[in-house]
Structure formats: structure tokens, C-alpha cells
């Protein structure tokens, strides 16, 4: 078991100019006592370095987390904490044994353990990032159905991640994974075709969730359907119409249609027309535009644009008025329009201007 064969390589004693002791050169399992001592020293040093590195990084990230308002740094701290002491210890051991001459089988075992452990830690770190992304996506008011759907997607993403990790491990072990990957691809295509309609609605709900063309409580128009959004589900969206009934629309239909969202409207452009009789004198006609402008200017939350004598119609001299309501609320707009109508009516009565209505005059010749 022991021999006096001199160990190959540079001796520490030689670097220090000191004569090596005889026991330093004794070999045990193809490695000298000096090799084992060097490996142990490397192990201790690397354990200390890894531990110090973890402490310093966590300390620095902790200071960064206190200075910033974002929570991404908390996620980085969690990733660093996921690197447990057993992992550092194994890295130190793996580094130390590189100073020894190992059998091919034992070296292969160490290499395989390193690959498996590194891939495992990479998957754990990626899972933490996935959890962070999904947590940031969800809000407290997110629909329960969407939460459930996102939970399934998150589980599927993690499953795919583990499958990729296992394939990488098998590939590094020398296993031919080409046929396995091809089989998984064909199986995935078959499943996708079988659940095509369900997946289309599911992905449409995700598109609505992430793109946010509307949210619960918004008043929207989709084609000939309009109402207030009550619920955004996995397959359908439910809106309540102005008449009170519930309208159920497929998410797939919504994502392929034009959606008008009035909740996001900051102001509303209003154009309306009114007519006065042909018997109205020209002097009074010239006052109409100014009267309308003065009325609208004195109404809150409005911005006057124009008022013009537009045309000679069959039964009336028509004026067109355009103004802006500085709110998107429909009820408030109707209150403002009603106020303007009343004031125009009162002003016309005071000025002696008659509003036109459909009439027909018949002239009889005797």
C-alpha cells in the first residue's frame, strides 16, 4: 500500500528551498501524502472563500434592497440563498480532488454529480424568477379564473423547465436524446391539435390579461354589442348591457374584433345641430352662433370649438355646433348637454327666435 516512489509535480518544499521529508513522498492509492495534504488545504481554502463570497454577496444585496423601491433585488437575494452550503461544499470538494489522481470511474462520478447539481441549481434559480414574474403579473383584483389559468401555465412552464434539465443531464451522460426529443415534439403537436379550440380561448384570455385592452368596470363596444365589463374568464368575457342583460362573448372573438373602450376616454367631442325657422330675420340669425358660444363657455367642463350657420334645409335654417366635454363619463356628458339645451331654449325665447320643426306650406291659386 505504501511505496517510496517520488510524487510528480512541483513540491511545496522545493519552492520554499526546504528538503522534503521522506513521509511526504509516500504514496497511497496513487497519490502521495503531500498530494492529500494539498487537496485538504485547497478544500479548506475554497470552503472559506465560498462562504465568504456568499456572506459578502448577501450583505451587498441586502444593502441594495434597502436603497431601492423595486423588489427585483429581493429576488436576487432569494436566488443567492438557494445556493445552500452543501452545494458550496461539493464545489470545494470537486476542486480539491482535481489535485489528486483519481480512477476514471471515480472521476466520472464526480463529473456527473457536478453536472446534475449545477443544472439543478440553475433550474431552482429560474423557478424563482418565474415565480417573481407571475407574482408581479397578478394583482389583488385579478379574476379568480385568470389566477387559476396562470397557475396552470406556471406549473406547465416549470414542468418544461425540468424536462429540459433532465434532457441536458442525459445528453451530458452520453445518452442520445434526439429520438426522445422528436417523440416529445410529435406528442406535443398531437395534444395541441386535440385541444386547439380550448387553447385558442386560453391564449386569448392571456392576451386580454397582459395587453389590457379593457378591465373590469370599463364600458366597451365590440361590434354591435356594448356594455360594462363584469368578468374576464378563461374562455369568455361577460359584459352587462345598458338594458341590464348579460352578454357572454368568446375571448377569441374579442381578440379578433375592434374594441372601443370609453373608460380610457379623457374627453368627448360633441357635435349637434339645431334649426330655426325661415321667418327668422337675418339680424337675429347672425346672433345665434355668438349666443351658443357664450352659453357653452359658461358651462363647466366644456371647451367650445365652433358654431356655424351650416345649411338651408327643407324645413329649417340649420346651425352646427361642436364642443368638447372634458370628461369621459357618459352620464356627466348627458347632464352637460341637457344644461346647454335648456339654456339655448331660454336664450332663443328671450331673443324671439323660433326653432323649426317639420312643416309644409300649401299655396292655393284661385
The tens digit of pLDDT for each residue in 223-252 reads 888 888 888 877 788 899 878 889 998 888
pLDDT at 310: 93
**pLDDT tens track for 107-129:** 888 888 888 888 888 888 888 88
Pair 244, 330 in one domain: no
User: Quick check: is 193 in a domain?
Assistant: no
Asked if pLDDT for residue 17 goes beyond 60, the answer is no
276 bridge partner residues = 317, 355
**Higher pLDDT among residues 65 and 45, named by residue:** 45
Write out the residue range of the structural domain in which residue 67 sits. 1-101
Q: CA–CA separation, 169 vs 157, rounded Å?
A: 18
Asked if pLDDT for residue 59 goes beyond 60, the answer is yes
Strand, coil or helix: 241: coil
Pair 4, 82 in one domain: yes
Angle between helices 144-172 and 104-137 (to 10 degrees): 160
Count other C-beta atoms under 10 Å from residue 202's C-beta.
18
**Higher pLDDT among residues 128 and 207, named by residue:** 128
Range with lowest mean pLDDT among 53-67, 189-203, 261-275: 189-203
C-alpha cell of residue 319: 346651425
Pair 6, 86 in one domain: yes
User: Quick check: is 12 in a domain?
Assistant: yes
Question: Of 81, 101, 121, which residue is a domain's last?
Answer: 101
* Residue 310 φ/ψ, nearest 5 degrees: -85, -50
For the segment 302-317, the average pLDDT, to the nearest whole number, is 92
Angle between helices 72-81 and 33-67 (to 10 degrees): 160
Pair 11, 58 in one domain: yes
Pair 3, 97 in one domain: yes
pLDDT at 6: 37
User: Quick check: is 201 in a domain?
Assistant: no
pLDDT at 140: 54
- Surface-to-core class of residue 36, CB atoms within 10 Å of its CB (0-12 exposed, 13-18 middle, 19+ buried): middle
User: Quick check: is 177 in a domain?
Assistant: no
Pair 231, 275 in one domain: no
Question: Of 101, 119, 148, which residue is a domain's last?
Answer: 101
Pair 248, 310 in one domain: no
Range with lowest mean pLDDT among 3-7, 70-74, 329-333: 3-7
pLDDT category, 144, cuts 50, 70, 90? low
Asked if pLDDT for residue 177 goes beyond 70, the answer is no
Q: How far is C-alpha 28 from the chain's CA centre?
A: 60
User: Quick check: is 241 in a domain?
Assistant: yes
User: Quick check: is 6 in a domain?
Assistant: yes
Pair 253, 286 in one domain: no
pLDDT at 164: 80
User: What is the CATH number for 314?
Assistant: 3.30.70.100
Pair 280, 233 in one domain: no
**pLDDT tens track for 76-108:** 777 777 777 788 788 888 888 887 777 778 888
* Angle made by CA atoms 281, 286, 291, in degrees to the nearest 5: 115
Highest averaged pLDDT of the listed ranges 14-23, 125-134, 342-351:
342-351
pLDDT category, 253, cuts 50, 70, 90? confident
Question: Of 55, 82, 101, which residue is a domain's last?
Answer: 101
Pair 18, 58 in one domain: yes
**Higher pLDDT among residues 263 and 277, named by residue:** 277
pLDDT at 5: 38
Question: Mean pLDDT score of the chain, rounded to an integer?
Answer: 78
User: What is the CATH number for 221?
Assistant: 2.30.30.60
Pair 52, 88 in one domain: yes
Q: Are the C-beta atoms of residues 114 and 106 closer than 8 Å to each other? A: no
pLDDT at 75: 75
Cα Rg of the chain (Å, integer): 40
Counting the structural domains of the chain, the total is 3
Asked if pLDDT for residue 16 goes beyond 60, the answer is no
Pair 40, 93 in one domain: yes
User: Quick check: is 366 in a domain?
Assistant: no
User: Quick check: is 190 in a domain?
Assistant: no
pLDDT at 194: 52
For the segment 311-328, the average pLDDT, to the nearest whole number, is 92
pLDDT at 146: 61
Amino acid at each position: 500500500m505504501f511505496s517510496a516512489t517520488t510524487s510528480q509535480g512541483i513540491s511545496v518544499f522545493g519552492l520554499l528551498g526546504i528538503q522534503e521529508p521522506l513521509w511526504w513522498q509516500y504514496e497511497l492509492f496513487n497519490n502521495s501524502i503531500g498530494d492529500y495534504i494539498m487537496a485538504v488545504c485547497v478544500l479548506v481554502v475554497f470552503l472559506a472563500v465560498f462562504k465568504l463570497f456568499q456572506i459578502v454577496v448577501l450583505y451587498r444585496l441586502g444593502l441594495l434592497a434597502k436603497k431601492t423601491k423595486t423588489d427585483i433585488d429581493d429576488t436576487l437575494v432569494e436566488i443567492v440563498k438557494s445556493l445552500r452550503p452543501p452545494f458550496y461544499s461539493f464545489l470545494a470538494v470537486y476542486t480539491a480532488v482535481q489535485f489528486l489522481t483519481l480512477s476514471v470511474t471515480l472521476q466520472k462520478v464526480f463529473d456527473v454529480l457536478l453536472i446534475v447539481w449545477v443544472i439543478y441549481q440553475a433550474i431552482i434559480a429560474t423557478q424563482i424568477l418565474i415565480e417573481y414574474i407571475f407574482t408581479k403579473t397578478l394583482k389583488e383584483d385579478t379574476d379568480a379564473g385568470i389566477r387559476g389559468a396562470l397557475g396552470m401555465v406556471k406549473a406547465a412552464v416549470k414542468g418544461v423547465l425540468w424536462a429540459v434539465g433532465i434532457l441536458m443531464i442525459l445528453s451530458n451522460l452520453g445518452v442520445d436524446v434526439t429520438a426522445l426529443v422528436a417523440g416529445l415534439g410529435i406528442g406535443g403537436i398531437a395534444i395541441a391539435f386535440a385541444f386547439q379550440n380550448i387553447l385558442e380561448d386560453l391564449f386569448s384570455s392571456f392576451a386580454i390579461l397582459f395587453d389590457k385592452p379593457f378591465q373590469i368596470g370599463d364600458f366597451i363596444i365590440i361590434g354591435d354589442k356594448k356594455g360594462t365589463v363584469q368578468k374576464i374568464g378563461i374562455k369568455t368575457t361577460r359584459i352587462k348591457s345598458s338594458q341590464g342583460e348579460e352578454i357572454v362573448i368568446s375571448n377569441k372573438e374579442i381578440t379578433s374584433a375592434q374594441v372601443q373602450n370609453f373608460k380610457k376616454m379623457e374627453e368627448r367631442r360633441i357635435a349637434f345641430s339645431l334649426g330655426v325657422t325661415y321667418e327668422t330675420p337675418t339680424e337675429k340669425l347672425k346672433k345665434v352662433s355668438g349666443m351658443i358660444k357664450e352659453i357653452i363657455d359658461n358651462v363647466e367642463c366644456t371647451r367650445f370649438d365652433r358654431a356655424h350657420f351650416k345649411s338651408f334645409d327643407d324645413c329649417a335654417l340649420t346651425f352646427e355646433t361642436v364642443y368638447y366635454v372634458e370628461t369621459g363619463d357618459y352620464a356627466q356628458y348627458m347632464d352637460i348637454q341637457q344644461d346647454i339645451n335648456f339654456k339655448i331654449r331660454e336664450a332663443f325665447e328671450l331673443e324671439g327666435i323660433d326653432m323649426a320643426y317639420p312643416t309644409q306650406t300649401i299655396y292655393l291659386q284661385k
